Structure 1
Amino acid sequence: MFYINQMACSNIMNKNSSIYIAGHGGLIGSALLRKLSTEGFENILVRARSELDLLNYHCVMDFFCKNKPEYVVLAAGKVGGIESNQNYPADFIVENIQIQLNILSAARENNVRKLIFFGSSCMYPRDCKQPMSENDLLTGKPEGTSLPYAIAKLAGIHTCLAYNKQDGNQRFVPVIPNSVYGPNDNFDARAGHVLSALISKFHKAKLEEHPKVVLWGTGSARREFVHADDVADACMHLLFNDISSLELPVNLGSGYDVSIKDLALRIAKLSGFNGDIHWDLAKPDGSPQKLLNSARINAIGWFPKVSLDDGLLSTYEWYVREIGRSLTENEGEST
């Protein structure tokens, strides 16, 4: 098992600990919920959006005061691809900052032992040297297509670091995963991140027998993808181990990247789409490359386990089973 070094330290989780997953229905939150359930945790706190409005400070504080979670994973927030970021920049910065401040302040007020906060690789400068190390943050301007989201996440990262410095501990653990994918992602072709959007587009094109799929940009941009199950595994590693000497924040990646064109070809083949792929050069690529240096978390014994090919296959199979099937049924009803 990966959770080693369980020394007598007040902020190391055990299986009797209460843990609150904010955003348990989303990509990372649901992966962690599966992992905790598999490991035998029963004292897991979750609330649907209809039950707890994370944008409301008083509701969040009341939840923490009543339930007293010992550990928190903040996986809630507004996320999306380039198009969503361009269309709703105010929503991305305001909603994420509100959620972050509400949960972080409530956690601190109620003496949470450890909290994991997720930043984003889009916080790094657009033209950053590769692979990007944590010390490269704030050395340049992030890519403009996701700037409001990046600013919100940078604010969350530095709130965690400021609390740790002022309080003299390492309770707030900011983690920077690269492009996360897997079950329960947002597969909306317009609002989702690139990998999930490509799965949706190619699957639909295959079903409807389109002769071509049009994709944004040149396809030359390179991205590093990490499966949600690996992110959940990294969370467990951080929660179960003494990280008092770990330099924060920590990057979390798979260790290699691929071009968007390569990714598109892999997903087209996986889906059975045999048409043409056209690239809309009038649309932006985003950052030219985003590859993380994950040496800090590797140094404490965590490494990814899910290869991109295996992750793509399992994610596509989940999508067809849970979402794509409804497209097939609708197709049948309309003929």
Structure 2
Amino acid sequence: MKILLTGANGMVGRNILAVAPNYDHEMLAPTSRELNLLDAGAVRQYLEQHQPDMIIHAAGIVGGIQANIAQPVKFLVENMQMGLNILTAANEVGVAKFLNLSSSCMYPRDAINPLSEELILKGELEPTNEGYALAKVTSTRLCEYICSENPDRFYKTIIPCNLYGRFDKFDPNHSHMIPAVIRKIDEAKKAQKQEIDIWGDGEARREFMYAEDLADFIFYALDNFAEMPQNLNVGLGTDYTINEYYQTVAEVVGYAGKFTHDLSKPVGMKQKLIDDTKLKSFGWRYKTSLHDGIKKTYEFYLSEYCNE
């Protein structure tokens, strides 16, 4: 197939492109300068010109809890505009297949874990990333609506758990937890700091999957797209506490100091674990353990990020 990948320069996009040579597809991977997803006319023109067989929509404004709290307007408006523009143009131009990447943050904050696909819009969202979540809910629902109106459309959504890995951002103001912790602990080790603070009590639980595993899943999904459910969680089906993530990173980095807890800081949802029942039935399972994934990510951090 000729596949258009949006967000090719992001962490997920770069992991997809790194795996793509193993498969027999032609990949279109425009930069945001070549395809401005916020410009509806430009999106339609690009699709008419290139006529992709399928679109993988991995573009988005992303960031950790601090970035979401600081810029809720940007996270809501730009993510929603990108999703609406690419989905409506694809449908109008006649693109038959669309794989929409959503996020487990669109599940209700008080939902009972593990989070099943049927829980979308069944409760209040987590306030610390509500704007981003609303945008993701909108794209997910629009895929459903397009399919209900036109049986020739296969517009489906995957809902990954939290991700980390090669090509991640390690900026403390914009990165997610694992890359932020890798940088924090590496710098503490180099500075010979004896203790590191953790936001909250460290008992909140999170599920993080190595991003290369998600790329592996995506190509598995392309080969089995007709059988894939409309909405599908993609993750580990198991989670760890924030404290356990800090401890694993410390082991990999070789940091021997101690941890303290700053109970004045926000922690977000107490748990966010996806239900992987449908994923198992679909026949796919992750490959990379937490320790191995953090080790590979730390090696990338040292070789690429620290040398930029």
Match of 2:74 among 91, 108, 112: 91
Judge conservation of contact 1:92–1:149 (CA < 8 Å) in 2.
yes
Is 1:109 the counterpart of 2:98? The answer is: no
Residue 201 of structure 2 contacts residue 261 of structure 2 at CA under 8 Å; is this kept in 1? yes
Cα distance between partner residues in 1 of 2:19 and 2:35: 23
The more displaced of 159-168 and 46-55 is: 46-55
SS at match of 2:222: helix
For 1:33, give the aligned amino acid: L
Give identity over the alignment, percent: 36
Aligned match of 1:257: 239
Unpaired runs of 5+ residues, structure 2, are: none
Q: Give runs of aligned pairs for residues 1-335 of structure 1, distance below 5 A.
A: 17-41=1-25, 43-169=26-152, 171-244=154-227, 246-325=228-307
Shift of 1:212: 2.5
Secondary structure of the equivalent of 1:243? Answer: helix
Aligned length: 308
Verify the 8 A CA contact 1:114 1:239 in the aligned structure 2.
no
- Using the size of structure 1 for normalisation, the TM-score is 0.88
TM-score (normalised: structure 2): 0.96
Does structure 2 retain, via aligned residues, the 8 Å contact 1:267–1:312? yes
**Aligned equivalent of 1:14:** none
State how far apart, in whole Å, the 2-side matches of 1:277 and 1:228 are. 27
Q: Deviations over 1:87-146 (max 9, x none)?
A: 000000000001101111121122212111111111111121111111122221121111
Instruction: Quote the Cα distance in structure 2 between the aligned partners of 1:113 and 1:97.
Output: 21
What secondary structure does 1:104 align onto?
helix
- 8 Å CA contact retained: 2:156, 2:229: no
Alignment RMSD, CA only?
A: 1.4
C-alpha displacement of 1:62: 1.1
Give 3-state SS (helix, strand or coil) of 1:138's partner: coil
Contact 1:203 / 1:324 at 8 angstroms: preserved in 2? Answer: no
1:4-30 CA-to-partner distances (Å, cap 9, x unmatched) read: xxxxxxxxxxxxx11111011111111
Displacement of 1:40: 4.4
1:268-307 Cα distance to aligned partner (Å, 9 max, x none) = 2211222232221111111001111121122121111111
CA apart distance, 1:183: 0.8
Change (3 A) 1:274 1:74: same
- Residues 1:169 and 1:260: Cα distance change in structure 2 (over 3 Å): farther
Distance 1:58 1:215 in 2: 46
SS in structure 2 of the partner of residue 147 of structure 1? helix
- Contact (CA 8 Å) 2:4, 2:54: kept in 1 or not? yes
Deviation at 1:231? 0.9
Cα distance in 1 between the residues matched to 2:178 and 2:225: 34
Give the letter for the 1:101 counterpart.
Answer: L
Report the Cα offset of residue 243 of structure 1: 2.2
Question: AA paired with 2:230?
Answer: L
Contact 2:205 2:271 in 1 (8 A): yes
- Once residues 243 and 322 of structure 1 are traced to their aligned partners in structure 2, the CA distance between those partners, rounded to angstroms, is 38
Distance in 2, Cα, partners of 1:312 & 1:255: 18
Task: Give the 3-state SS of the residue equivalent to 1:279 in structure 2.
Answer: strand
CA contact (8 A) 2:189 2:255 kept: yes
CA distance in 1, matches of 2:121, 2:36: 31
Deviation at 1:220, TM superposition (A): 0.7
